Amino acid sequence: MSFAGRLAAALAVMAAPVAALTLDLPPSATLALDEAEPLGSHALATSAWAQGTLASMVVEGEVTQRVWQVPSPDRTTLQLLAPLRDQIAAQGFRPLLDCAGEACGGFDFRAALEILPPPAMFVDLVDFRYLSAVAGKEAISLLVSRSGERGYIQLVRVAPARPEAQPATVPAAGPDTFTARIEGEGRVVLEGLAFRTGSADLAPGGEAMLAALAAYLGANAGRRVALVGHTDAQGPLAANVALSRQRAEAVAERLVSAHGVRQTQLLAEGMGWLAPTATNLTPEGRETNRRVEAVILPP
């Protein structure tokens, strides 16, 4: 094929709609972490560490973060990465950066990356490989490392946000609507709250729901509610119960400090993954299960 023909074919691939990335992992791979954020951002490294900085491109959209662990006593990081890289290329992704260890920038490069938390993910100081790529409006980063006889594969995918994930679509939470919901059902999910993965740090957001709850409690001085945190089914129960309680406590603190709710009207509890409202077998279900609810307490 002529150069002009090859160029036309390449442009056609880049312009064509791209389906969501799918990867065929080794049969022995186990999913250690699976998190989804309806609207978030991720920094893709676009060149090796140089002159004290790491060039990157921040992409926004629906962010999916996954980590797989692979028993690999004899596999190098290249042997782990190569078949995944081939699959990514076959699905129309154009690489931005493909490097390994010292060629990436060694420790400095590694320290500047967005790495998912242990024990799910581990990145050796020098033995790792990184790939970032784009296809249409979808972007990914792939990070591979190993420790002892285990390999680690981190995939972060950013796709266009679904319309329902946009902030403007958060359901209205006016006083009358909120009162009808919480008194009719006895509980309300506090939509719009966001926590960092594995953390109880409450990010800005969800203020409409918190303001509606504060207004309800202000208008019903004798009413008390339990703030109940829930997680998905990733990780041990005890750790998830503790994390969900800490998240509920963070919401209570925000209600008191920013919305003037009396502490005596609030109780914070955590259920971990004991009370799912959706399946934990899909990313969408796990996202639904990660929530904080306000539950009316008896007088």
Tens place of pLDDT per residue across the chain (299 aa): 333 333 333 333 333 333 468 889 988 999 999 998 888 899 999 999 998 899 999 999 999 999 999 998 888 999 999 999 999 999 999 999 999 999 999 999 999 999 998 889 999 999 999 999 999 999 999 999 999 889 999 999 999 987 654 443 444 455 568 888 898 899 999 988 887 767 888 887 788 889 999 999 999 999 999 999 999 888 899 999 999 999 999 999 999 999 999 999 999 999 999 999 888 888 888 888 899 999 999 98
Distances (CA, A) of 264 to 225, 253, 270: 10, 12, 18
Q: Which helix (H) or strand (E) holds 17?
A: none
Q: Which amino acid is at 33?
A: L
DSSP 53: B
C-alpha count within 13 angstroms, C-beta hemisphere, residue 31: 14
Q: Which helix (H) or strand (E) holds 187?
A: strand 187-189
Say what the pTM is: 0.52
Q: SS3 of 233, please?
A: coil
Residues contacting residue 266 through CB under 8 Å, at least 6 positions apart: 224, 225, 226, 227, 252, 255, 256
H, E, C per residue of 260-298? CCCHHHEEEEECCCCCCCCCCCCHHHHHHHCEEEEEECC
Q: Which of 19, 7, 8, 2 is nearest to 90 (CA)?
A: 19
Rounded Cα distance, 242 and 235, in Å: 12
Rounded Cα distance, 122 and 102, in Å: 17
Phi, psi of 152 (to 5 degrees): -130, 130
User: Between β-strands 150-159 and 56-71, what pairing exists: parallel, antiparallel or unpaired?
Assistant: antiparallel
Secondary-structure class of domain 170-296 per CATH: alpha beta
Q: Which of 108, 159, 103 is nearest to 130 (CA)?
A: 103
CATH 3.30.1330.60-classified regions of the chain:
170-296
217-244 burial string, b = 16+ CB within 10 Å, else e?
A: beeeeeebbbbbbbbbbbbeeeebbbbb
Considering the domain 3-159 in this protein, what is its CATH number?
3.40.1000
CATH 3.40.1000-classified regions of the chain:
3-159
Distances (CA, A) of 41 to 37, 161, 199: 9, 11, 17
